[in-house]
Every structure is written in C-alpha cells, then in structure tokens.
Chains A and B, each alone.
Chain A
C-alpha cells in the first residue's frame, strides 16, 4: 500500500519496579515525561523534527487523560507537536506503535514517538455512586438548608472509597480467575506453570547479567528528592527455586487452583517509549534502523471463553499478512500475563484441532520451540506496567534483531476484554 517503511530507530524504558516499592512516589506522568525526554536527549534527536506523539496508559490519571499531549507540553518537545492518547489494555503500547507506524505509512508523519506507561502505585480511587450522587445534589442546591438536607442523606457506608478492580466489567471475572479457568480448560498443571515462571526469572536475571538491558533501560533518578536512582528492574529473582514457588498458595481458587503470585505477573510501575521513523528520513538524519515493521494484526474473542487466548487469533492473521509461516520467525516474544496463559497459547498454536475449531484453518499455526520463546524473560519476571509492556517487548526484539543483524521477530500480547495483538518485525 505504500513504499514507505517504518523503522524503529531507538527506544528506552524505565526500570520496572513492583508497585508500591522503588517508584511508588512517581505517578504515570512522572514516569513517562522524564522517559520520553531522556530518550530524545540520548538519541540526540532535534525535538523540532518530531511530528507526533502517540502514548497511552491503562489506569488513567484523571488529571491527564490525554497523557501524550501532557508529555509534549511538560517535556522539551515543542508545543506544536501533535499528540493523542489511547488505551488497549495490556496491548496499549502495541497499539500506539501501530498507530505511529500507520501515520508514517500514510505519509502523515515521518518521525513519531510511541509508548505507554502505568503507575499502579498511585491508582485513582473513586467514591461510591451514592456518595457522588449526594455530592452532586448538594453542589447544585440553591440555599444552605437544601444543601444540608442533601448532605444529610449521606450514610457512613457511602464514604468507603472503591479501590480500582482488575476485573472484567462484562463477566465480573478477575484476570486471575480467567487464567485459572484457562489452566483447567487446557490442562496446564501447577508444576508446568511454576517451571515456566522459574525459567522466566532465570532468563531475565541472566539477561541483566549479560548486559542485554543496559542500553534499553534508563537509570531513573526518583523525584522529588533525587536521592535514589533506580537503575535496574527490581522484580527478577535469581534466587527462586521450584520449592519456593511450590510453597506459594493459589490466589484465585484456593482449593483446586494452580495460579499463584509466583507464576503470575505482578502489579508494576514503569514506562516505555520508541522512536519510529520513515526509513528514508532515518537514513537522512543519520539514524540506523534497528528493525522494520513487517506486519501486524489484532483479534478479539468472547471474554466468557478464554479471555487471554487472543494471541492465537491475531498471530495467524499477522503471519498471513507478512506472507510467512511461524517457521519463518526467528524469535518470539509472548507477553506473560500468567504462565498458565502463555502455556495455553503455546498449546493452541500447536494444535490442529484448535486451528480447525476456532481459526477455520486446516493446520495448526505451529510449534513454538522453547529456545525461540521469551529469550530474556517476560512479564512474570520483568514486571508488567500494563501500557508499557508492548513497547518493552518491541524494543527488546528490535535490539535482538540488531544483535543477529538479520531475521524476524514476532511479538504478541493478550489483553483484557478478550483481545489479542501481534506484530512482526524484520531486519
């Protein structure tokens, strides 16, 4: 459709930290704005060349619903940079990437910054419907007596704040419930899940040891005091063991369940960002493309069924659009919401039956060899700041293609609402 190619020329993320710990003092804007600023500064990119910022968050701050624009205004990017925000649950920064790429393909933009951030340390807490309705009435009351009358309807229980829930609005299931359900439907045992989680931590720890993340994670000096600098992800554990993981109690189904805090991704604070450029622009400005966008696809399933199986639906479409089969892909990165979910996806990929029943295809998508999958850990071990994860995966895979100096990478996520997203990069 276009002879323009979209290149990832640079990217960066903050260290990821378990919510309520090292980055607890920083809100979503406080993560995103310094990150984007540092990315642009580090890349030596003239901010005047940036055409657009597409950014997102999942747990949105009421003070900055269009966080992309707030980033532009607060950071040294010119006020004339167009910016909008979006949300697609855990695939948010895949969507911002795709939106940025689409703008480049359409010729709307040559240089775009995309990404996402979430602080789960400072989620917005809301009041009960009763409380809100009484306050609105009191506010619109014309005189003091009627204001008092309105306020007198308030009951103590109305004052209790409502914490944000990570539950599906439609089904009422939490993510964990859905993972638990998928484990049972697909016969994923506790031991397999724990083994997967342990591997995830081992790979993440090794990757940090080998310096894989050095160039893609910024050292983050924590405001307002700037006394502390978070330099690395704080979640990967090199000291875990099968015994330790086995000792954890299932969280969502205490009697028959298998999903534990150890084989699920934790609530995390963090941000990621990418610089995308149209290929010729990148070369003219002296930036070496790390990887190019080959294809992408999104899919959706009934959330009452397997909420987190989306990757098995988006991936065959993305492969078709790339004119490839799974065997053509050199590295695969699947977002690890839960070990049970990754293993379910892996099973679905390999199953002819699944392909026939659900994809309308004769043959399975293909086997995912373990040595191609999540080379440097995943959301279980690195953490999962919802809107930052897609960007994190894309960046690591783009850098992997640089290390190999050739090849293809497939990045995929499941997302709340039964969504799936897949991107294929090439170099």
Chain B
C-alpha cells in the first residue's frame, strides 16, 4: 500500500483513503463552496481512477462529497465559455465521458462496486457521475435534490446522462427529467429506482459503506422493475418494442415542439440523443450526446441563457437592510393576496392585510389558502407547514397591528390621490420608520412620495401577476429613498423568492415603460390592417409567451388604457396609439369581463379572435403584413425603449435590463434580454433597422442615442 502512496500524484480537489478493502473517494473542490466539474478536477479524478483500477487492495468504492450540503452540482459553467470551438468542446466532452466509462467498468467488468453517497444538490454532471456508479444512496434530507438541469442553460447532459438515465429509470421518466430540467426529491427518486436507498443523513455513510461491502465481488446488474408495476406496464407497451419506441419518441417530439415553438434547440437535441441511444445503441448515443453538446455550447441560445443565469446570480447589495418580521399589505385583491402569499410562504413573515370589509379579507385569505393547499396537494409542502403559513396571515378592516410592520406594501387601485392619502394615513398610524412600498405599475414613486413626511422611506415594489408564479420584483427608488430602505425592500423581495432588480424612478419605471411602445406598435399595425392573429402569432413566434394583444386582454383593456394615457403624458407621441384607434368608448375590458380582442367562454377559457373588435376599433383586417415586419416593428420598439431606459439612468445596468425584460415581461430567454440581443445582432445593425423603420413610420423609431453611440466604438452592453 505504501508503494501506492508514494507513486500517486498529489491531489488538489479530491482525497483518497482505503480501509478494509473499501476505497473512499471524496470530492472537495479547492477554494469553492461546491463541487463543480472542470478539467482541473477531472485530472484528479483520472489519477484516482488509475488507482481504483489497478490497486488490488481496492475491493469497492464509496464516493463522497466534503461540501456540507451538496454532492456535485454539475459542470463549472464558467468553463463552458472556453468551449467556443465545437471541435475542442467535443474532445473535452468525450474525455469526461471516458472517465465516467472507466468508473462504470470498475463495477461492470471488475466487480468493484461503486456507491455514490448523495446529500444535497446532485445535479447535471453530478447526477451523471452518480449514474455511472453501481449504487446510489441519497439522504432523505430536504436539501437533497437530483436532476439534469442542463436544458435550462440551453445545453444537454453530456456525461452519459442521456444514455444511462433512460436505462436506469425508463425512457419516459428520464425524458421528463432531461427535457424539463426539473429536479426531484429523494423519495421520488427512490420510487423511480434512481437511488437505491434513502436513509436519514445520520445513517447515510454507514448505509453507503455497507451497500458497497455487500456488493463486493458481484458484477453490477440492474434489476428489472417488473412489468406488473404501472411503469413496468408502460415500459412493456412503449419502451421495449421498436414500434412502441417510435410512437413514444414521436409523441415526445410533438409535445416538445408545441412548448418550444422551435426556439429551444437543447431539449430537441437531448430527445434525439436519447432516441439514438435507445434505437441505435449506447455507443452511438454517447457520440451523439458529445456532438450535440459541442454544437450547443457555442450556440447563441445557450449563451443567452447562461448570460441570464449569471446576471441573476449577481444579486443587488442588501447591506443595512432591516429585517422584516411583519409586513402590512394594503388591499387584498389579486396583487395584495399574491404578495401576502409569497410573504408568508416563502419569506416566512407575518402578514397583516387591510381591506375595506371582512368579505375582502376573506377573499384574500381564500386566495392564500388556495395557493397553499395546491402546494400541499402537490406534496411541495406539508399539512402543518401550510397551517403555519396560513396562520401567519391575518386580516383587518382597521389599522390595528400596522404599528408592528417594518414594511407596508400598498396594492390598491392605480390612483395617485388614493395612494397618497393611504401613505399619509400609514404615516399617522405607524409611529416608527416603516418602509412604505407602492405596488404601482406605472405611477411615478416621486409623486406618491410627495405626500410623505419621511420620503426616505418611500419606494416602489412592482410585482407581476400572478405574484406567486412570476419570478421578478422591480424595486423602484427615488433620489430621496434611503439606502437602508432600498436594502430592506430588496432583501425582503429576495426572501419572497424573487429575482430583484433596482431601478430609478420614472413613469412606468423599466418594465411597464418598455411595454408601452410594444403595445402601441400593435395598435399601429391594427390601424394599417393587420389582423389580431397575425400580430400575436408573429410576436409569439419570435419567442414572447403572449403577443401584445393577448397581453392587453390579460392585463385588462381598461387598465391598459389608463397606463397608456400616463405613458403618453410622460413620453409624448411615440407612446400614442394612432388617432381614433382605441377601445375606450366600448365596454371591452379583456379577460376579466370576457370581452376583449379574443372571445372567452363562461369558464374564462380563451377562444378565437372576436371579429367584432375590428369595427369597434374602426379598422378592417384586410392587409397581409409580413410576419418578419411585425416582429421587427414590435420588438425593436421595445428594445429601443429599453436602450432609452439605460441612457436615461432608469436602469442601473444593462444586465438589470435583461433580467427585467426576461423575468418580468417574458422577453424570450433564449435571446438573453434586449441588451444581450443588441450585442448579438450588433448595435450597428439595430440602428440601421431602426432608421429604416423611422423612414417609413416616423419619429417613434428614432434610435436611442446610446445605441448610436455604441455603433461608433463597437461597444458591447453586456
């Protein structure tokens, strides 16, 4: 044994020990909080494999992590940016695959069982490492999560995941994990056969070692789950015969394309890699996996998604924040109740809702309860946990209890005078220094704060509906807002599970403002004779989840008109719809009254376009506007406005602009946000296209100065 110690090269990121025939390999990436895979760590891994293979003392292997609450969290994403050249990327991937193959052969060919000891995040390459082992033992801890999130970054599993996972848990279950990027809890993983045992953390290492010891000497073989189980039956029907396989993959592809609209190559490639493995054999599957990954890693889509990922990880500063134990919410409508929900469920704060009457309080509580019981039903939350979350929310029709709130968020009707009078009332009943946040989507915070005796505590917290689902929070500060108040709002927003951007005050702030020209341009197109379907479908094909007219229906046409007027007052002609083309005189209010651009049935389900909307607008849909032109006009109007927001200092950074657009208003994530997109297309080209539109349609397309300036020095925004 001492021979080995002497000859084994020094390890940086891993350690090795052997006791009674069982080798323990521990991942402990130097200088980092988590174990991520990259060439430097893989070098150590290769050294260790050499020894595991040739040391006759090694009868079995246990793989551990030295990080407190994670196993291996996947490849080092920063390393991907070095893989721009597809050829070198493929070589790197194949090298990784080769190491995992060697790990697999240890137990398959040499009868040395390998047990992965999983506690905490086991994701991406981490799960693929575990899949190459003969056994997986995972702690039943809430922190333990297993998944293949690669598609979220526009990539696919490329450490054999597309091949080994279907073999282990079946094609259908594997596709569900690989195509959605969802992670699963240990209990589910055990049901699927992804892990062999889920002991409590206290027994994890003992169980892993014992599993390894008992398997010594027997080559690994996966037990068949048996066709009697539901999944077994499905396997029998679909997965194990060629015809069934064909049907399965066809269906999966159709379902996928319906969701991605062809804009996301990664899940399509992942599906294809799985298919090749199943139908043409593992070797072909592995080769396809490496090839596809190498092509994807340099793709604009993956770069865009990675850029958003990195941008959201750079969180705003929360130094000086006051801890919010109690939040007061004024107004228990859809927004107020949603804010209450995330405040109790995610942030764990006590919530006091003020409503005009008890029926309003009850409606708000019903909303919170509905979200919580949905989570209980989906087993995302326990009964008692939900009971606690519910009990943190109380309601009132007076101001009782508001004195205890460190933060008060108003979510009442969009009316400046109303918001100002509430602010005054709040300040008279709360003696202390509570932060007052307005959830306005358009009114300038400065104007609301004008009613305040302590404007330093006034800011905006702009949530998006439905609050419990939408990931963004836009915090708006005025020049007078105190740093500690800003930090308090940001910190609380993060506790609510939100990605937070901070922007400076101005009409519409950032997100509502860039939607202004987006929706105005749709009205211009309507006036020119484009149809509702043509407009929405063009924009949706570009990658927005909903087109501008569908969005108008969702927001409410009355609300939209109100915001629109505020925009025109502030920004003038470029936000103004064409003369006379509006629905102000009609009772169309969108989905909420079942009358908008679209038809809605009694249950609120959206049908086709309501053709009578054209006569209400005074237009005739008799013109075929090319899809490309619709896309150009609507998206460039929005992107140009985003650039103005950066130019005027509404945005503090281009990265914030990308996060806000992607997470707040559904800007296509695979395009990375307005500024990432400008960088990709090139500011010169963007300005050129805007100038062309300006020539044909007028000054509203005049390029933002900051764009013109960027063309000069080939400056990048991101």
Contacts from A to B (Cβ < 8 Å): 33-34, 37-38, 41-46, 73-76, 219, 221, 223-229, 231
User: Which residues of the partner chain A approach B394 to less than 8 Å between Cβ atoms?
Assistant: 34, 37-38, 41-42
User: Which residues of the partner chain B approach A75 to less than 8 Å between Cβ atoms?
Assistant: 388, 391
Residue B629 CB within 8 A of the other chain: no
User: Which residues of the partner chain B approach A76 to less than 8 Å between Cβ atoms?
Assistant: 350, 388, 391-392
Of B350, B361, B369, the contact of A229 (CB 8 Å cutoff): B361
Query: Nearest Cβ distance between residue A225 and chain B, in whole angstroms?
Result: 7
Tell me the complex Cα distance, A224–B386, Å.
12
User: Which residues of the partner chain B approach A44 to less than 8 Å between Cβ atoms?
Assistant: 400-404
What 10 A-B pairs have minimum CB-CB distances, sorted nearest first?
Answer: A226-B366, A221-B362, A44-B404, A41-B394, A229-B358, A219-B358, A226-B365, A42-B400, A41-B401, A44-B403
Query: Nearest Cβ distance between residue A280 and chain B, in whole angstroms?
Result: 21
Q: Are A42 and B350 in contact (CB under 8 A)?
A: no
Take A33-B391, A74-B388 as given contacts and tell me if A228 and B352 are in contact as well, using a CB distance cutoff of 8 Å.
Answer: no
User: Which residues of the partner chain B approach A221 to less than 8 Å between Cβ atoms?
Assistant: 358, 361-362, 365, 395
Query: Nearest Cβ distance between residue A72 and chain B, in whole angstroms?
Result: 11
Q: Are B404 and A223 in contact (CB under 8 A)?
A: no
Query: Nearest Cβ distance between residue B493 and chain A, in whole angstroms?
Result: 21
Closest to B348 in A: A76
User: Which residues of the partner chain B approach A73 to less than 8 Å between Cβ atoms?
Assistant: 388
Residue B282 CB within 8 A of the other chain: no
Tell me the complex Cα distance, A225–B373, Å.
11
Tell me the complex Cα distance, A229–B360, Å.
10
Tell me the complex Cα distance, A73–B384, Å.
9
Of A42, A219, A225, A229, the contact of B401 (CB 8 Å cutoff): A42
Give 18 A-B contacts (CB < 8 Å), ordered by A residue.
A33-B387, A33-B391, A34-B391, A37-B391, A37-B392, A41-B394, A42-B401, A44-B401, A45-B404, A75-B391, A219-B358, A219-B397, A221-B395, A226-B366, A229-B359, A229-B361, A229-B362, A231-B358
Tell me the complex Cα distance, A223–B326, Å.
23
User: Which residues of the partner chain A approach B631 to less than 8 Å between Cβ atoms?
Assistant: none
Tell me the complex Cα distance, A42–B402, Å.
8
Residue B396 CB within 8 A of the other chain: yes
Tell me the complex Cα distance, A42–B350, Å.
12
Query: Nearest Cβ distance between residue A23 and chain B, in whole angstroms?
Result: 14
Take A44-B404, A46-B404 as given contacts and tell me if A225 and B366 are in contact as well, using a CB distance cutoff of 8 Å.
Answer: yes
Closest to A34 in B: B391
Residues of B277-315 whose CB lies within 8 A of A: none
User: Which residues of the partner chain A approach B373 to less than 8 Å between Cβ atoms?
Assistant: 224
Query: Nearest Cβ distance between residue B400 and chain A, in whole angstroms?
Result: 4
User: Which residues of the partner chain B approach A41 to less than 8 Å between Cβ atoms?
Assistant: 326, 350, 352, 394, 396, 400-401, 404
How does the 8 Å CB contact mask read for B358-400 relative to A, with 1 for contact and 0 for none?
1101110110010001000000000010011011101111001
User: Which residues of the partner chain A approach B396 to less than 8 Å between Cβ atoms?
Assistant: 41-42
Take A41-B394, A74-B388 as given contacts and tell me if A226 and B362 are in contact as well, using a CB distance cutoff of 8 Å.
Answer: yes
Closest to B405 in A: A44
Closest to A224 in B: B369
User: Which residues of the partner chain A approach B359 to less than 8 Å between Cβ atoms?
Assistant: 229
Tell me the complex Cα distance, A76–B392, Å.
6
User: Which residues of the partner chain A approach B397 to less than 8 Å between Cβ atoms?
Assistant: 219
Tell me the complex Cα distance, A266–B566, Å.
60
Residues of B389-439 whose CB lies within 8 A of A: 390-392, 394-397, 400-404
Closest to A75 in B: B391
Query: Nearest Cβ distance between residue A151 and chain B, in whole angstroms?
Result: 31
User: In the complex, which of the residues A33, A38, A221 has the most CB atoms of chain B within 10 Å of its own CB atom?
Assistant: A221
User: In the complex, which of the residues A37, A44, A224, A227 has the most CB atoms of chain B within 10 Å of its own CB atom?
Assistant: A44
Q: Are B362 and A228 in contact (CB under 8 A)?
A: yes
Q: Are B366 and A74 in contact (CB under 8 A)?
A: no
Tell me the complex Cα distance, A76–B578, Å.
54
Query: Nearest Cβ distance between residue A271 and chain B, in whole angstroms?
Result: 14
Closest to B366 in A: A226
Of B350, B369, B387, B404, the contact of A74 (CB 8 Å cutoff): B387
Of A42, A43, A45, A223, the contact of B369 (CB 8 Å cutoff): A223
Of B361, B388, B403, the contact of A219 (CB 8 Å cutoff): B361
Tell me the complex Cα distance, A45–B401, Å.
8
Tell me the complex Cα distance, A44–B402, Å.
7
User: Which residues of the partner chain A approach B400 to less than 8 Å between Cβ atoms?
Assistant: 41-44
Tell me the complex Cα distance, A275–B362, Å.
25
Closest to B430 in A: A44
Take A34-B391, A38-B394, A41-B394 as given contacts and tell me if A227 and B404 are in contact as well, using a CB distance cutoff of 8 Å.
Answer: no
Tell me the complex Cα distance, A228–B392, Å.
20
User: Which residues of the partner chain B approach A37 to less than 8 Å between Cβ atoms?
Assistant: 391-392, 394
Closest to A29 in B: B387
Closest to B431 in A: A286
Tell me the complex Cα distance, A76–B227, Å.
49
Tell me the complex Cα distance, A226–B364, Å.
9
Extra pairs beyond A41-B350, A41-B394 (9, CB < 8 Å): A41-B352, A42-B394, A44-B401, A75-B388, A76-B391, A221-B358, A221-B362, A226-B369, A229-B361
User: Which residues of the partner chain B approach A74 to less than 8 Å between Cβ atoms?
Assistant: 384, 387-388, 391
Closest to A77 in B: B391
Residues of B422-476 whose CB lies within 8 A of A: none
User: Which residues of the partner chain A approach B326 to less than 8 Å between Cβ atoms?
Assistant: 41
Tell me the complex Cα distance, A225–B397, Å.
20
Query: Nearest Cβ distance between residue B358 and chain A, in whole angstroms?
Result: 4
Query: Nearest Cβ distance between residue B329 and chain A, in whole angstroms?
Result: 13
Tell me the complex Cα distance, A73–B391, Å.
10
User: Which residues of the partner chain A approach B387 to less than 8 Å between Cβ atoms?
Assistant: 33, 74
Tell me the complex Cα distance, A19–B366, Å.
24
Tell me the complex Cα distance, A282–B365, Å.
32
Tell me the complex Cα distance, A63–B402, Å.
34
Closest to A228 in B: B362
